[in-house]
Structure 1
Amino acid sequence: MMTVSTEMIQESVRMFTVLAIELTVLFLVISYIVGILQMHIPPKKIQSILSGKQGKGYVIAGFLGAITPFCSCSTIPFLKGLLRANAGFGTMMVFLFASPLLNPIIIGLFVVTFGLNVAVFYFSVAMGVSILAGYSLEKLGFEKYIRAEAYIAPVSSKISQDSSAETIIENKWLEIWRTTWKDFLKVLPYLLGGLSIGAVIYGFMPADYVASVANENNPLAVPIAAIIGIPLYIRAEAVIPLSAVLATKGMGLGAIMALIIGSAGSSLTEVVLLKSFFKNQMIIAFLLVVIGMAVTAGYAYSYLF
């Protein structure tokens, strides 16, 4: 039986506080930037970029995700912008899967920690599965599981026709902020709820326990590690160095790969936030893709390396 310590409580509170501040700032900043981009880039332009013929849109969406340094939760504001721009459903899902898993910092950490071959393997799996999943979900008609209200921007006040040009510009910046703030208030209950649960799990689940249930002798270590990773809110930049510690505690390298993808590709907080956009069927499909990607990468890693 695990004994609750003051250190565990402090760790949970610290994690909640840090993430609450970080995600609040990220959400507001990213939402505002997306609002500015939407003001200058017509929705049709976004649609044309992400709906390229012969699958180019899927590849573009994947690499767009790879160059955006977002964690699983901070992809939500960008996702909101893609929804309101009526970007293609499949390409939007590719971005959602790829963004938290692929960026230059993560790939650099993989090279330093595991070597170039493993970094290339990780990039290939994450990019390939993201594109395949986005394409498959679109062809299977999962777009119908997006909530109708997700496409609608909050109603903003109208600018009077006799306003000066300078006033109109100022009002536009203010209206973007008002829309951003209204969006934030909508997701705030989901954000706080998901963070509370995730912080408790993070603080009360010691690394020794994770390593003990996902060691090399356990044939189910890979799926267990993938599932354990989902509730934890750990950015890939943090979980990759952490994996070195877990390896010294007996955790298998395939299970470590699954844990990295599971924890970075999704989180309980992100799932709760996605509830404001997606119906349950879409949430389940999203989780199955992340777990499937983690398990596939974990077993393939064990076999190849």
Structure 2
Amino acid sequence: MTITNEMIYEALNMFAFLAVELTLLFLLISYLVGVLQEYIPPSKIQSILSSKNGKGYIIAGFLGAITPFCSCSTILFLKGLLRAKAGFGTMMVFLFASPLLNPIIIGLFAVTFGLKVTLFYFIMAMGVSVIAGYSLEKLGFEKYIKPQAYIAPQTTSCASSCGTNAKPINKWRKIWNSTWSDFKKVLPYLIGGIAVGSMIYGFMPTEFVASIASENNPLAIPIAAVIGIPLYIRAEAVIPLSAALAAKGMGLGAVMALIIGSAGASLTEVVLLKSIFHNKMIIAFLTVILSMAIGSGFLYQLIF
């Protein structure tokens, strides 16, 4: 393949456009989420999820949408829910929904793929999360939680370690500091995804992508779902990457499966879950994510 000036221009133009757009979007939505979390603290979420009512499963899904940005950080909050004696079913809904439905992903989805695709993704992720959480509770999977997961770690007093002369920080500045800190952590993944996506958009032949991952290949969707998990591509990176693949001919069903597989689970998350769950629960967790990814891919392809 001969690289032309036009290819280089297209790649650089796509990189600049996505970098500016997604950076502004991330900062804006992250700050708004921080404001929301200021008024809905973790203790409030724990008390809501601890209640035994039929609405708890749906509430858990929506609460998961305003919590940490990736699958691994969700587990830290999950441990707090365990120690607060939250309901098992609602906790599982939270575990599935939190990394898939956070505002960053929804915002990137809407900007990149449009409202119709975003609505389909939201309904599928929310619906499967609620059904899976309810089903796992009814099937008695709560017994696969390790006893030590309920034990709270010892905490140290800030007064003894931080000093007493620290000045209070304005809450709006505190939210911005947290937003900027999150952005710096995500930035390498965001830039990496944009860079790879821009290179694919500018240099990869359309015919190559279409031949292996088009809607005509029945294996494209399950393969995309499976490879998303071990690759651990953060949503901030996989969405611009997927947009480039879609522009080159990758079927949107396979794109959907790749995003759900990579955002919903990862090898790192599985390792962290080992400290909470026995193997049967981890297998059930991975089965739900893969089923959601593959099912959403085929259903999208069928409907649209």
Q: CA deviation at 1:146?
A: 0.7
Question: Does structure 1 conserve the Cα–Cα contact (< 8 Å) formed by 2:235 and 2:262?
Answer: yes
Which letter maps to 1:245?
Answer: A
Q: Find the residue that maps to 1:217 and give its secondary structure.
A: coil
Please give the residue correspondences for 1:1-305 in structure 2 after superposition, counting only pairs within 5 Å.
41=43, 48-155=47-154, 170=159, 213-305=212-304
Whether the 8 Å contact between 1:213 and 1:224 is mirrored in structure 2 is: no
Distance 1:87 1:119 in 2: 30
Q: Distance in 2 between matches of 1:173 and 1:276?
A: 30
Q: Could you report, residue by residue, the CA deviation over 1:212-264 in whole angstroms, capped at 9, with x for unpaired residues? A: 65333321211111111111212222211111221244322101100000000
Aligned length: 227
Amino acid at match of 1:170: A
Query: Which residues of structure 1 form unaligned runs of 5+?
Result: 1-32, 158-167, 175-202
Query: One-letter code of the match for 2:215?
Result: E
State the Cα deviation string for residues 19-45 of structure 1 (Å, max 9, x = none). Answer: xxxxxxxxxxxxxx9xxx67xx4xxx7
Determine the C-alpha separation between the residues in 2 that align with 1:116 and 1:47.
31
CA contact (8 A) 2:68 2:74 kept: no
**Residue type matched to 2:118 in 1?**
A
Q: Which whole-Å CA distance do the structure 1 matches of 2:300 and 2:288 have between them?
A: 18
* Alpha-carbon distance change, 46 to 86 in structure 1, aligned in 2, over 3 angstroms: farther
Runs of 4+ in 1 over 3 A off after TM superposition: 45-48, 51-54, 171-174, 206-215
Structure 2 unaligned regions, length at least 5: 1-36, 164-195
* 57-66 or 231-240: bigger deviation: 231-240
Partner Cα distance (1:46, 1:102) in 2: 16
Q: Is the 8 A contact 1:62 1:99 kept in 2?
A: yes
The verdict on how the C-alpha distance between 1:84 and 1:213 changes in structure 2, with shifts beyond 3 A counting, is: farther
Q: Any idea what the Cα deviations from partners look like across 1:85-122, whole Å, max 9, x if unmatched?
A: 11111111111100101122211221111111111111
C-alpha displacement of 1:294: 0.5
> Cα RMSD over matched residues?
3.0
Whether contact under 8 Å (1:50, 1:57) holds in the other structure is yes
TM-score normalised to structure 2 length: 0.67
- What letter matches 2:258 in structure 1? L
TM-score (norm 1): 0.67
Q: Cα gap change, 1:210/1:259 in structure 2, threshold over 3 Å: closer, same or farther?
A: farther
Distance 1:211 1:139 in 2: 43
Per-residue Cα deviation, 1:245-286 (whole angstroms, up to 9, x for no partner): 212443221011000000000111101111111100000000
Residue pair 2:105, 2:236 contacting (<8 A) in 1 also: yes
Please say if residues 214 and 224 of structure 1, whose CA atoms lie closer than 8 Å, have aligned partners that are also in contact: no
Partners in 1 of 2:161 and 2:137 — Cα distance?
Answer: 35
CA contact 1:142–1:282 (8 Å) conserved in 2: yes
Distance 1:227 1:151 in 2: 31
Q: Secondary structure of 2:230's match?
A: coil
The answer to whether the 8 A contact 1:266-1:290 is kept is yes
Matched residue, 1:186: none
Corresponding residue SS for 2:82: helix
Measured after TM superposition, the shift of residue 68 of structure 1 is 1.7
| CA distance 1:76–1:54, shift in 2 (3 Å) | closer
**How far 1:301 moved relative to its partner?**
0.9
Give the distance between the partners of 1:263 and 1:63, measured in 2 at CA. Answer: 20
Aligned-partner residue type, residue 236 of structure 1:
A
Structure-2 change in CA distance of 1:272 and 1:210 (3 Å): farther
Deviations 1:2-33 (A, max 9, x none): xxxxxxxxxxxxxxxxxxxxxxxxxxxxxxx9
Is the 8 Å Cα contact of residues 101 and 125 (structure 2) preserved in structure 1?
yes
The 1:211–1:274 alpha-carbon spacing in structure 2 relative to 1, beyond 3 Å, is farther
